[in-house]
Amino acid sequence: MIELSQLTKVYGEDVVAVDQLSLAVGQGEVYGLLGPNGAGKTTTLRMILGLLQPTSGEATILGCRVSSDPLRMKQLIGLVSASAGLYQWLTPRELLQYFAIGFGLSLEQAFQRTRELAEVMELERFLDRRCATLSTGQAQRVNLARALVHDPPVVLLDEPTRGLDVVGAKIVFDYVQLLRRSNKAIIVCTHQLEEAERFCDRFGLLYRGKLQYEGTLAELRASTGQPSLVDIFLKLLRDDASGNGSSNVDSAKEAVLAQ
Amino acid sequence: MNYSHTNINTATDSQTSVQATDSRQTAVPFSFAQQWEFTLKELRETLRDRRTIVTLMAMPLLLYPMLGLGLRFLAFQESSDQKVEYRLAIGSETEGAWLSEALQLGNSLLAASSEAKEQQPAPDVQLLVPNDPSEFDLEALVKNSAADVGVRVQLNEASVGNQFPATARVQLLQSRDSVRSRDAADYVQQRLAAANIDWIRQTSELNGKPFRLPVEQIRVLLEPAETGSAVLGLLPLILLLMTVTGGVYPAIDLTAGERERNTLETLMALPVPRFRLLIAKFVAVVAVTMLTGLMNLLAMSITLYALQLDKTLLGGDGFTLGLGCKLFLALSAFALFYSAVLLLLTSSARSFKEAQAYLIPLLLLSIAPGLVILMPGWNLASGTAALPLVNMLLLSRELLEGTVALLPAIVAIVSTVLYGVAALAMAAQVFGNDAAAIGSRGGWKDLLQRPKEMSIQPSITAALVGLAILFPAYFVTSGILSRGDAQPTGRLGLSAAMTIALFVGLPWLLMRWQRIDVLAGVGLKKTSWHYYVAAGMLGIATWPWIFALVVFAQSIGIRGIDLSQIENVEGLLAGWREVPLWLIVVCLGVVPGVCEECFFRGYLFNGLKQHLNATWTIVVSAVAFGLFHVVLAGGAAPERLLPSTLMGLLLGWMAYRSGSIVPSIVLHAIHNSTLLIVVQSRDLLAEWNIGQVEQVHLPWLWLAVSAGVLGVGLMITRLAIKPAPFSTKEPETI
């Protein structure tokens, strides 16, 4: 359902944020696009969404190129971004209705949809309170609900568990399961590797804009000889460090574990 | 959390299936309901913020009463007679005593005379008497402005002590270049003259001879018609600047604030063109700005009324409802313009702080025109009516003074609105650019950067900017053209040259800069022959109905051309009798027909259709066309607005149906030429009892026949081959 073909983004003359990235995500599949900060994950999502123009390459959704009709493609995608804020002076109800109408639902459909999502995401208790008064977990639920207001076939999640506690993380986990059962194609960007192992079906490890490894956990274990994603990443860093002539494996390990 | 699979999937397939109505880039077709929801969200965000309400409500209520006290002081300073003080340098105390008595006598004589009513209150007179007469130099004192006048009194020694007054020879020393010195000398001279006359009368009566002056002079002082009050110049500045303050915070909050609060990314993820989202924000900013303006206007009018300043400052009936409505109209145009400029500046800011840094210079710049209009000699005329900001300030001042003229007012309002539209179009290009990119600015350089690739259509921004530039340029050049003393032939040539330069030259330059294929950009392309035939028929048949509409408009009182201007037109027509008809038809018929179509149905039309559907494209281009035809050299002709706009609708529809501007060129040129031939044949028409142009209805038979031809032309247009797609795809060119 989602296909990226040699997708590249270069800033200025020499900053390669994403380097010839190719991957495919099918219906009902959860693809974890993993990597440290600055690997190019968010840039990739924004190119899929049409917010950024790729330097070269193409992203297609349901067989249609994003660049040929960016506005139409946006209607097929739901975005959950941890950095996305809520409108402080609106209530969750007003916010969800606004986005529903923005995605083309009629007023009546928007009201109906808001009610449904409020029930599913358990927003009813604070549906009519201003977003400024919501807790982090409540705000995240509203964020998750917003991405589904138009029932898109594709959902992109960018660092969905950032800043959340265990309960909040579980909400996200359950949400991803729901999306999978709904046969949506899902890309989850995160640098929480251990979390990613729990809810992703396949993984793409991005480092310095390039897709270094791709496959299921079993495939990655077999190809790298490492037992976990953390170990695979540390191996990646070691290989990169030795290629660059430096040997900061321990500091790199600390950096990865700290994430 | 219990998730139900069925709950999430209750959405119908139609929500994700896209029915593109045309090739424009939108998955969600435009609807007013949707646009209103976008606007409602922005209004909620703005008006629920207490800071906005405080600015809106509290500031005017606090400010104007305080200002009112200061204005009251200034107003009474201006209106009340100001005391003047004259310094008279005198040579000695004896001379001073003599002069003082003489001046007192003169004052009492003048006060008792019939001039007393018109005289200003007596100034204070200070006599400068030296301590040491030998060191007192009267000339030096006057030259150095230490004294206004030097008075040298040579008393007749024989008369001192014998009689009152002692006779004397008085020499007045005044500074040549000083008005004050002149006034002081006049003051002394008038009083001494009055005293002189009285002395002569007394002497004559003492000798038993009645005395009567052979010539009696009375000077009457008149107040000038225009007071030019400085207070009336300050009020518009305060009003407009306070109005602007209302829009500053919402403009920042709804643009840079979105970036700062990280809500912009999800907003840009909506399948809605950016400009629609920006329009919603614009409406919210304008709404708050206009509400602020209204509050300020109310607070100002209440303050003026409460402090009894309204009639003092404004004269006549003071601050009336009609004046308030006109001021609000001017404020609204200003609010539209300034809100768009605010959004243009704040759209590229990434934070509140950055946005404020952009706006502070703008606010400071906005004060400068306000100070300029306080200077004498600045009024709303051809040179200032199209100057942004200055025109609104002058318009507001002249509304308060009651001296505003129609044409400059119309030009001021229309040009301000057009500037606002252009600024908004530019803001739409900047807003949301690379909303999520790290390290990318996506700012104003995008507006000024020349595109790298060729394209075939202008953008809506470029089209609106072109319109905003063209309108004041047209107004100014029309005014300049009307002032020339050229012969009719030369004037016709100049008119044609001006038309070509403005309506073809300007869009050509803009398209060259934007790397747009010129022929495709204006829509010069082949089309079916049916359209040419229809255009010819419509061109011949529309003029009677346009004529009839103009006459109808004038009959119901919409008349901008007054009798003196009709006389000018008659004079012009008389001058054309010597000019070959073909030259008149070419210069005033064909050239405008071609050039105006290149702009209105070419450049502007193709730009508008990038974002608007066919109906709105036709309507907007027609309204712009109509507004241009209101502007006449030397006056405004509002009676032409409706007929010209209707003509614009017809031309736009022809361009839309045919997919080319060639039929509309044919239509327009034939229409113009036919009308000109009719005008040149007015003598013949007079024989048929058709009077002056635009004053008498045409015979009903003419209207009926033309209606029939019109109908056939419209039918041919409607039934011709399927119209070209209303799209940006490259069609076949000539």
Q: CB–CB of A87 and B41 under 8 A?
A: yes
Q: What whole-number distance in Å separates Cα of residue B651 and Cα of residue B645?
A: 10
- Does pTM top 0.90 for this prediction? no
Taking the CA of residue A178 and the nearest CA in chain B, the distance in Å comes to 7
Does residue B228 have a pLDDT over 60?
Answer: no
> Which residues in chain A touch residue B261, judged by CB atoms under 8 angstroms apart?
85, 87-88
Q: What percentage of chain A carries pLDDT values higher than 70?
A: 93
Q: What is the pLDDT of residue B33?
A: 87
Residue B575: strand, helix, or coil: helix
Question: Which of A16-20, A143-147, B25-29, B298-302 shows the lowest mean pLDDT across its residues?
Answer: B25-29
Give the total residue count for chain A. 259
Q: What whole-number distance in Å separates Cα of residue B480 and Cα of residue B382?
A: 9
* Mean pLDDT value across residues B517-540: 89
Q: Is B393 within 8 Å of B457 (Cβ atoms)?
A: no
Q: CB–CB of A102 and B34 under 8 A?
A: yes
> Which residues in chain A touch residue B28, judged by CB atoms under 8 angstroms apart?
71, 75, 102-104
- For A215: left if phi > 0, alpha if psi spans -120 to 50, otherwise beta; the answer is left
pLDDT, tens digit, for every residue of A104-147? 999 999 999 999 999 988 899 999 999 999 998 899 899 999 99
Taking the CA of residue B429 and the nearest CA in chain A, the distance in Å comes to 14
> Does the beta carbon of A152 lie under 8 angstroms from any beta carbon of chain B?
yes
Task: Give the orientation angle of helix A92-102 with respect to helix A136-147, to 10 degrees.
Answer: 20
* Mean pLDDT value across residues B315-342: 87
Q: Write out the H or E segment, with its range, that includes residue A157.
A: strand A154-158
Top-confidence residue, B357 or B652? B652
Q: What is the pLDDT of residue B724?
A: 56
Token readout for B537 is 């028929």
**Cα–chain-centroid distance for residue B140?**
52
Those of residues 21-80 in A touching chain B at CB distance below 8 A are 42-43, 46, 49, 51-52, 69-77, 79
Top-confidence residue, B278 or A248? B278
Token readout for B635 is 């006056």
pLDDT, tens digit, for every residue of B406-439? 888 989 999 999 999 999 988 888 886 654 433 3
Top-confidence residue, B230 or A205? A205
Does residue B631 have a pLDDT over 60?
Answer: yes
Q: What whole-number distance in Å separates Cα of residue A9 and Cα of residue B577?
A: 70
Q: What is the pLDDT of residue B428?
A: 85
ipTM above 0.85, yes or no: yes
pLDDT, tens digit, for every residue of B250-265? 999 999 888 888 898 8
pLDDT, tens digit, for every residue of B335-370? 999 999 999 989 888 888 888 888 888 888 888 777
> Which residues in chain A touch residue B5, judged by CB atoms under 8 angstroms apart?
178, 181-182
Q: What whole-number distance in Å separates Cα of residue A228 and Cα of residue A224?
A: 10
Top-confidence residue, B657 or B223? B657
Q: Is B606 within 8 Å of B522 (Cβ atoms)?
A: yes
Taking the CA of residue A72 and the nearest CA in chain B, the distance in Å comes to 4
Does residue A217 have a pLDDT over 80?
Answer: yes
Q: What is the pLDDT of residue B53?
A: 77
Nearest to A79 among B38, B266, B439 (CB): B266
pLDDT, tens digit, for every residue of A26-60? 999 999 999 888 888 889 999 998 888 889 999 99
Q: What is the pLDDT of residue B632?
A: 61
> Which residues in chain B touch residue A74, judged by CB atoms under 8 angstroms apart?
27, 269-271
For the four alpha carbons of B86, B89, B93 and B97, in that order, the dihedral sign comes to: negative
Top-confidence residue, B646 or B4? B646
Of B506, B670, B671, give the one whose Cα is nearest residue B600: B506
Q: CB–CB of A89 and B49 under 8 A?
A: yes
Token readout for B214 is 């052979």
Whole-number average pLDDT of chain B: 79
Q: What is the pLDDT of residue B675?
A: 86
Token readout for B126 is 């200070």
> Which residues in chain B touch residue A70, judged by CB atoms under 8 angstroms apart?
25
**Helix locations, A64-159, DSSP H:** 70-74, 92-102, 107-120, 136-147
Beta strands in B111-235 (DSSP E): 124-128, 149-155, 168-174
Kindly report the number of other CB atoms within 10 A of residue B681's CB atom.
Answer: 12
Does residue B244 have a pLDDT over 70?
Answer: yes
pLDDT, tens digit, for every residue of A201-211? 999 988 888 88
Taking the CA of residue B27 and the nearest CA in chain A, the distance in Å comes to 4
* Mean pLDDT value across residues B441-460: 70
Q: What whole-number distance in Å separates Cα of residue B399 and Cα of residue B405?
A: 9
3-state helix, strand, coil in chain B (%, to 5): 65, 5, 30
Question: Which of A125-129, B454-458, B673-677 shows the lowest mean pLDDT across its residues?
Answer: B454-458
Question: Which of A125-139, B54-68, B385-399, B509-523 shows the lowest mean pLDDT across its residues?
Answer: B54-68
Taking the CA of residue B422 and the nearest CA in chain A, the distance in Å comes to 24
Those of residues 80-139 in A touching chain B at CB distance below 8 A are 81, 83-90, 94, 97-99, 101-105, 107, 109, 112-113, 116, 119-122
> Which residues in chain A touch residue B440, judged by CB atoms under 8 angstroms apart?
11
Q: What whole-number distance in Å separates Cα of residue B705 and Cα of residue A140?
A: 72
Q: What is the pLDDT of residue B77?
A: 57
Q: What whole-number distance in Å separates Cα of residue A251 and Cα of residue A254?
A: 5
Q: What is the pLDDT of residue B688?
A: 64
Q: What is the pLDDT of residue B75?
A: 60
Query: What's the pLDDT band for B72 if we cut at 50, 70, 90?
Result: low
Between strands A210-215 and A202-207, the pairing is antiparallel
Kindly report the number of other CB atoms within 10 A of residue B642's CB atom.
Answer: 16
- Maximum Cα–Cα distance across chain A: 63
> Which residues in chain A touch residue B34, judged by CB atoms under 8 angstroms apart?
101-102
Nearest to A85 among B3, B37, B263 (CB): B263
Q: What whole-number distance in Å separates Cα of residue A210 and Cα of residue A21?
A: 6
**Cα–chain-centroid distance for residue A41?**
8
Query: What's the pLDDT band for B446 if we cut at 50, 70, 90?
Result: low
Q: CB–CB of B44 and A94 under 8 A?
A: yes
Between strands A56-61 and A64-65, the pairing is antiparallel
Angle at CA B319, nearest 5°, toward B314 and B322?
120
The DSSP call for residue B113 is S
Q: What whole-number distance in Å separates Cα of residue A226 and Cα of residue B63?
A: 73
Nearest to B265 among A84, A105, A150 (CB): A84
Contacts of B600 by beta carbon, 8 Å cutoff, 6+ apart:
B621, B624, B625, B648, B651, B652
Query: What's the pLDDT band for B156 if we cut at 50, 70, 90?
Result: confident
Top-confidence residue, B507 or A190? B507
Kindly report the number of other CB atoms within 10 A of residue A128's CB atom.
Answer: 11
Top-confidence residue, A205 or B56? A205
> Which residues in chain B touch residue A91, judged by CB atoms under 8 angstroms apart?
none
Does residue A184 have a pLDDT over 60?
Answer: yes
Q: CB–CB of A98 and B3 under 8 A?
A: no
* Mean pLDDT value across residues B601-626: 90
What φ, ψ does residue A141 adopt, rounded to 5°? -65, -40
Between strands B124-128 and B149-155, the pairing is unpaired
Token readout for B378 is 């600045």
Q: CB–CB of B269 and A74 under 8 A?
A: yes
Q: What is the pLDDT of residue B455?
A: 82
Nearest to B45 among A77, A87, A148 (CB): A87
Q: CB–CB of A150 and B44 under 8 A?
A: no
Q: What whole-number distance in Å separates Cα of residue A169 and Cα of residue A201?
A: 18
The DSSP call for residue B54 is I
What φ, ψ does residue A142 adopt, rounded to 5°? -65, -40
Query: What's the pLDDT band for B574 if we cut at 50, 70, 90?
Result: low
Nearest to B16 among A76, A88, A119 (CB): A76
Of B675, B671, B490, B650, give the one whose Cα is nearest residue B593: B671
Q: Is B276 within 8 Å of B33 (Cβ atoms)?
A: no
Query: What's the pLDDT band for B573 if we cut at 50, 70, 90?
Result: low
Q: What whole-number distance in Å separates Cα of residue B336 and Cα of residue B326?
A: 16
Q: Is B560 within 8 Å of B639 (Cβ atoms)?
A: yes
* Mean pLDDT value across residues B451-480: 84
Query: What's the pLDDT band for B485 if we cut at 50, 70, 90?
Result: low
Nearest to A71 among B27, B48, B263 (CB): B27
Taking the CA of residue B361 and the nearest CA in chain A, the distance in Å comes to 29
Nearest CA in chain B to A154: B16
* CB-based burial, B254-281: b 16+ in 10 Å, e otherwise: bbbbbbbeebbbbbbbbbbbbbbbbbbb
Query: What's the pLDDT band for B2 if we cut at 50, 70, 90?
Result: very low
Query: What's the pLDDT band for A154 if we cut at 50, 70, 90?
Result: very high
pLDDT, tens digit, for every residue of B4-34? 333 333 333 333 332 333 333 455 677 888 9
Q: CB–CB of A116 and B1 under 8 A?
A: no
Q: Is B47 within 8 Å of B53 (Cβ atoms)?
A: yes
* Mean pLDDT value across residues B459-487: 80
Q: What is the pLDDT of residue A12?
A: 78
| Residue of B10, B44, B265, B441 to mutate, interface with A, max A Cβ within 10 Å | B265
> How far does chain B reach from its first CA to its final CA, in angstroms?
66
Does residue A212 have a pLDDT over 70?
Answer: yes
Does residue A72 have a pLDDT over 70?
Answer: yes
Q: CB–CB of A83 and B265 under 8 A?
A: yes
* Alpha-carbon distances of B273 from A102, B349, B594, B703, rounded to whole Å: 11, 20, 34, 46
Q: What whole-number distance in Å separates Cα of residue B27 and Cα of residue B20?
A: 6
Give the total residue count for chain B. 734
